[in-house]
Amino acid sequence: MLQIGPYKLPNRVALAPMAGVTDLPFRRLCSQMGAGLVVAEMISSNPQLRDSAKTLWRSRHDAEIQPRSVQIAGSEPAAMAEAAAYNVARGAQIIDINMGCPAKKVCNKWAGSALMQDEKLAIGIVEAVVDACAPRGVPVTLKMRSGWCAAARNALALARAAESAGVAMVAVHGRTREQGYGGEAEYDTVAAVKAALQVPVVANGDIDSPAKAAAVLARTGADALMIGRAAMGRPWIFREIAHYLTHGELLLPPPVREVQGWLTAHLHQHYTLYGEHTGVRSARKHIGWAVGTLPGGEAFRAAMNAIDDCRAQLLAVTDFFDGLADRHVHLPAANDRQTRLAA
């Protein structure tokens, strides 16, 4: 079992933090579907943004999901330390430092993966956040990339320094910031980090099936895996992988009616969190991911994107899945698909 500070997780499969994706309803869903750890969307360390609607949405937690892991992003040690303390006071039980986001709007502010270019600043942030969290008994984790670019893969050096500074876990996405999400993830960097550290190391990047999960663990020796894009529209991937790693056998994909049930419940929670106006629009991506590989999914997605009413959106989803069930459509098995990318 994976342990982060005082928290023993039920399995070795975690949901990666993804801006615009891993909100409270999605974290609930993935937790119910077998994720041993779910990490919230990154929250800016800028105190001026704390009262914004986006930050308030991202700061919502569920007492039943434990441990509650919150990722913070920023480029100033003092501000990051203060943000860590603020989020702990609001219920965070683990603080994760974002050193992996490749988005330009984040990197342009010297946050996210841009921090990997300045190792002194990066470790200064880690030290400040650990100092803020340690007296509160809250472990700090770090998520990074393999480096800024191919010529500067410095994840190993940063991971060693971060461990010395007191982080309780390190997750490594096997791509550089320069790659974004293109190309293929490499796992040699993850393996090197694992070999050098005593704290748990988590492998991330292109893990989209039980077989790939087992191969990545074997290749890297990592303590756990982190799933991001492959969970979008297929949240049961966590139970598929956890079952395969434990029992060595593949689970059958869920029936269409089960998928309809979790999607409907997810949409109700989504509308409750965001309200009618924002909820119906932000729900479109989740619906699109869920139906994207199903017969008629692309056409339904295009039609559904024109719906501006929650009730009409739910009715359209119900009609679509009723049609699939009537035709006895089955979902593809875990190893018969490609990684689903965000639209």
So which residues are the catalytic ones? 101
Per-residue CA distances from 206 to 49, 133, 310 (Å): 32, 31, 33
- Determine contact, residues 283/313, Cβ cutoff 8 Å: yes
- Determine contact, residues 15/30, Cβ cutoff 8 Å: yes
Place of tokens 């932000």: 282
3-class DSSP string for the chain: CCEECCEECCCCEEECCCCCCCCHHHHHHHHHCCCCEEECCCEECCHHHCCCHHHHHHCCCCCCCCCCEEEEECCCHHHHHHHHHHHHHCCCCEEEEEECCCCHHHHCCCCHHHHHHCHHHHHHHHHHHHHHHHHHCCCEEEEEEEECCCCCCCHHHHHHHHHHHCCCEEEEEEEECCCCCCCCCCCHHHHHHHHHCCCCEEEECCCCCHHHHHHHHHHHCCCEEEECHHHCCCCCHHHHHHHHHHHCCCCCCCCHHHHHHHHHHHHHHHHHHHHHHHHHHHHHHHHHHHHCCCCCHHHHHHHHCCCCCHHHHHHHHHHHHHHHHHCCCCCCCHHHCCCCCCC
